[in-house]
Amino acid sequence: MQHFTNVNDLSNLQQALQQAFEIKKDRFQFTELGRNKTLLMIFFNSSLRTRLSTQKAAMNLGMNTMILDVNQGAWKLETERGVVMDGDKPEHLLEAIPVMGCYCDVIGVRSFAQFISKEDDYNEKIINQFIKYSGKPVFSMEGATRHPLQSFADLITIEEYKKVERPKVVLTWAPHPRALPQAVPNSFAEWMNATDYDFVITHPKGYELDAQFVGNAKVEYDQEKAFEGADFIYAKNWAAFADPHYGEILSTDRNWTVDSKKMALTNNAYFMHCLPVRRNMIVTDEVIESPQSIVIAEAANREISAQTVLKMLLEGIK
Ligand code: CP
């Protein structure tokens, strides 16, 4: 694999899943693959799970790791071409990227949607410049539109916990005090569409996701109806996608918070969330602390998804 930004970069999803389960059985069986190879992780935004799980995954493969927090301790980066650089950004991304590429073998990038330009966000302007100018394999550690390492971990988790071959998986919008990107729900929908699951998305009107990610999912505006018979509830907030409200909060209605009453409508569903989660906004204490909550197992699988992807990228280096 040359780069990894979405599910289609995996040539075969079922084989990738089998590889993930092999790695989980013995995560130190490929330590020679990464010997004398360096992973550079570049964060334009904060992280707990992605940072730790990806670093651990790289170490499991015998790699060295370096981490750069662009907004803490590095020069502020100008990302627009043609700008007269007389402001507070002393370095341009077009020099910084190839320089970073000189010091490593694989690059991971986290760069969220900025909600300034929908076109720039949905063209993945930052990650695509790393792909174009770094000369190295690049993978997304959450871009503007997708979070593929999270979605891969989510899929591994569902495969581990599912009790029927074709579970009903429900992605539900839930309230949040800040405007959040659509990367996690877009990506989750994209990966669920790549499976044979019964996949339903529920959200208030106005929160429709980009049709390219909704794919074949059923969209149900009545959350309680959507929850009926569900095997997995995947909660997440996102800001509006549709114009003219791109990036805006349209609702903070706490009737959409996932609580025990709604979980009782399901087929004893497991509760999932990518974390970090705002308790009693997205989900009640009771639900996230219940035996049906698998958020920690889900986070633990981030190490496995990252290691599977890093292994494939290392194998692709000529
Ligand atoms: N789920 C996830 O990506 O967590 P972090 O933002 O902490 O990395």
How do residues 7-16 score in pLDDT, each as one tens digit? 999 999 999 9
Q: What separation in Å is there between the alpha carbon of 85 and the centre of ligand 1?
A: 32
Q: Give the nearest ligand 1 atom to 274 CA.
A: 1
| Res 2: pLDDT | 96
Q: Give the nearest ligand 1 atom to 141 CA.
A: 3
Residues 6+ apart with CB under 8 A from 296: none
Q: What separation in Å is there between the alpha carbon of 60 and the centre of ligand 1?
A: 20
Q: What separation in Å is there between the alpha carbon of 288 and the centre of ligand 1?
A: 17
Report the DSSP beta bridge partners of residue 68. 42
Helical axes 148-161 vs 295-316, angle rounded to 10°: 120
Query: What does the pLDDT look like over 11-57, one tens digit per residue?
Result: 999 999 999 999 999 999 999 999 999 999 999 999 999 999 999 99
| Res 201: pLDDT | 98
Q: What is the mean pLDDT of residues 245-255?
A: 97
Residue 71 has pLDDT above 90, yes or no: no
Q: Which residue has the tokens 């394999």?
A: 137
- How do 138-140 and 106-110 pair as beta strands? parallel
| Res 72: pLDDT | 87
Q: What is the mean pLDDT of residues 177-190?
A: 98
Question: Is the Cβ–Cβ distance between 126 and 81 less than 8 Å?
Answer: no
Question: Is the Cβ–Cβ distance between 280 and 274 less than 8 Å?
Answer: no
Q: List, chain by chain if needed, residues with CB within 6 Å of any ligand 1 atom.
A: 47-50, 142, 150, 274-276
Pocket probe for ligand 1: among 142, 188, 296, 305, the residue whose CB has the most ligand atoms within 8 Å is: 142
Q: What are 1's two structure tokens?
A: 């694999």
Question: Is the Cβ–Cβ distance between 189 and 213 less than 8 Å?
Answer: yes
pTM: 0.97
Q: What are 138's two structure tokens?
A: 């690049």
Query: What is the C-alpha to C-alpha distance for residues 51 and 258, in angstroms, rounded to an integer?
Result: 28
Q: What separation in Å is there between the alpha carbon of 83 and the centre of ligand 1?
A: 32
| CA proximity to 238, closest of 175, 164, 190 | 175
Domains of the chain: 7-146+302-315 (3.40.50.1370), 150-299 (3.40.50.1370)
- Give the three-state DSSP class for 158: helix
Residues 6+ apart with CB under 8 A from 57: 303, 304, 306, 307, 310
E-assigned strand segments in 153-279: 168-173, 198-202, 218-220, 232-236, 270-272
Shortest-distance Cα residue to atom 6 of ligand 1: 47
Q: What separation in Å is there between the alpha carbon of 274 and the centre of ligand 1?
A: 7
| CA proximity to 64, closest of 318, 314, 251 | 314
Shortest-distance Cα residue to atom 7 of ligand 1: 48
Query: What is the C-alpha to C-alpha distance for residues 209 and 220, in angstroms, rounded to an integer?
Result: 13
| Res 73: pLDDT | 84
Q: Give the nearest ligand 1 atom to 147 CA.
A: 3
Query: What does the pLDDT look like over 190-247, one tens digit per residue?
Result: 999 999 999 999 999 999 999 999 999 999 999 999 999 999 999 999 999 999 999 9
